[in-house]
Structure 1
């Protein structure tokens, strides 16, 4: 399924319908546990991230995705972890599932903002990604998506094609370099927000 998603985006890029540029994806190890922490601007962010990877991944995704039959089928096939926002029991179960996945050597992706952000909107990062990293000792790779919100803006059902999307990976963050969860979370936020596309648009 993940290879099918990559093929679709590669085809869209080749035809210039949606051009996707992947930056520094080599920092993601081919195997072994790793956490990805990404900004969240569109409901299709996870598809761009999956297309940029060369291995299977599990994402902690909003349970709202399970409402549509198509998206429910897609996230279930991809083995994603549902999270009901503002539901402590759901959050606890999701954290337990993610912890077990990491202990099993999986790649787990999290959107610390926990919702799609409108342009200019700012919310505090939720600590889950830093808690998981500290709990398991697994490094965090920051990821920034640029222009995914132009392809499918928040609140829209149909995509706006013809844009160039960047998926930018940063260097891994070792949880042992930080004394506390808040300090680690601050570093994750800083790394994500300062990742920029290369001036030449290189891959």
Structure 2
């Protein structure tokens, strides 16, 4: 069952979509979408996307519009605590994820799949500072298996050049954004969650390679090579160092106040 745009929650979603599209135009973004046909025109699906910037979800939603679909994203609980963003997120039926009670979020996600919705997941859980695909959490594969839903791998490349971790942000106009949706992965009979998660990781890694190969922009200077992975001539940290930086950032967040 596809989403009904007459519902109040979907009207809010459409209004926000138009607002975001307007912001994209103001920024002069050159957005390219490939593979939107891999999203089912109706019925449930799980989209699993890489995570390099704070705006990734807006670009996945942008790509889904080409199929007339909307995506209910699993998002950090802190996003829902803000009075403005929280009200909008709930109106759009996104899913709050509390680190300490994640099972509640997955139950909500499975209910949405049962209703024929598309659920968006960032299975790396946190932004990848290496810009490469990190080890994936098993939730996306688990939902696909338990609900016999297609699992669509996705890559957004370029959004981290606008807004990402460590205070990196830029409103310079005209950046390129590449969005790739891959062929859906259908759980095989008896396939385990780890096995499907491994297939998902391979598919996302391959899509990222395609995005990097086709990306039209290049660094303007040596100082601008920060947004490229280490194996593509960039200065982003290698995965092991990036993982250590992730752990350090998490420890800072979890430090108690004096």
TM-score bucket (shorter structure): 0.7 to 0.9
CA shift in 2, pair 1:191/1:44, >3 Å: same
TM-score by length of 2: 0.69
What corresponds to 2:58 in structure 1?
Answer: 47
Q: Structure 1, unaligned stretches of length 5 or more?
A: none
Is 1:136 aligned with 2:136? no
Runs (4+) off by over 6 Å: none
Q: Which has the larger radius of gyration?
A: 2
Is 1:179 aligned with 2:191? yes
2:39 to 28, 42, 45: 28
RMSD of Structure 2 on Structure 1 (CA): 2.4
Is 1:84 aligned with 2:132? no
- Alignment coverage as a number of residue pairs: 198
* Local SS of the residue matching 1:168: strand
TM-score by length of 1: 0.86
Deviations 1:94-118, CA, capped at 9 Å, x for gaps = 1111111111111111110111222
* Local SS of the residue matching 2:130: coil
More moved, 123-132 vs 13-22: 13-22
2:75 to 38, 54, 61: 61
What corresponds to 1:189 in structure 2?
Answer: 201
Deviations 1:2-38, CA, capped at 9 Å, x for gaps = 4344434544555562222111111111210111000
